Amino acid sequence: MEITRKTKLFDLLNEYPSLEEKIIHIAPPFKNLTNPVLRRTVGKLATVEKVAQVGNIDVLSFINLLRREAGQVELADGGDDPAPRTYQPGKDDPEWILGQPQFIVNATEMLHRGEVPLNKVNELLQQLEPGGYLLLLTQFHPSPMLEAVGKQNRKVFHKLDEQDPNQHLTFFQ
């Protein structure tokens, strides 16, 4: 199960019971989740987004905290996109894109919200762990982004998604 802002608390705790303590620590009003009856009622109504609001914590930060604890890749925008498949480099792909990205930025979604993806990409590039990489998803060839990140002496690789030729995949390390 992928953890997103819309994930129901009941489903989350059934799949990852170890997260209960973290949730109660962040949002004490949810301490009643230890009661099985309340867990079934409140848990089926409350979403991860609602818990973050009650706990007065940034929704995306909370989602990523839960995702880290559950061993899922962090989301970089919105908190709605589950992680894409694990990438196995093709014969022409660099080996450094093996595995899951540390961060995913869906630039198409960001642009629809009026946000600037380059700012988010630059912010997340500073947080990359050694060997980690960022995946940028676009519906167009992101030439300005490739040029801007390339000037930072970072590894850059771009290709079309083999399963969806309208989807551009750009990898930064």
- For the entire predicted model, the pTM comes to 0.57
pLDDT digits (tens, 9 = 90+) for 89-148: 678 899 899 888 888 888 877 787 677 889 889 988 998 999 999 999 899 999 988 999
Residues 6+ apart with CB under 8 A from 74: 64, 67, 68, 102, 103, 104
The more confident residue out of 34 and 154 is 154
Tally Cβ neighbours within 10 Å of residue 64. Answer: 19
Return the domain boundaries, the chain.
9-69, 95-172
* Angle at alpha carbon of residue 81, lines to 152 and 160, rounded to 5°: 55
Instruction: For residues 160-171, give the mean pLDDT.
Output: 86
- pLDDT score, position 85: 47
Largest CA distance in the chain: 57
Q: What would the two tokens of residue 142 be? A: 């992101």
Q: Which residues pair with 56 in a beta bridge?
A: none
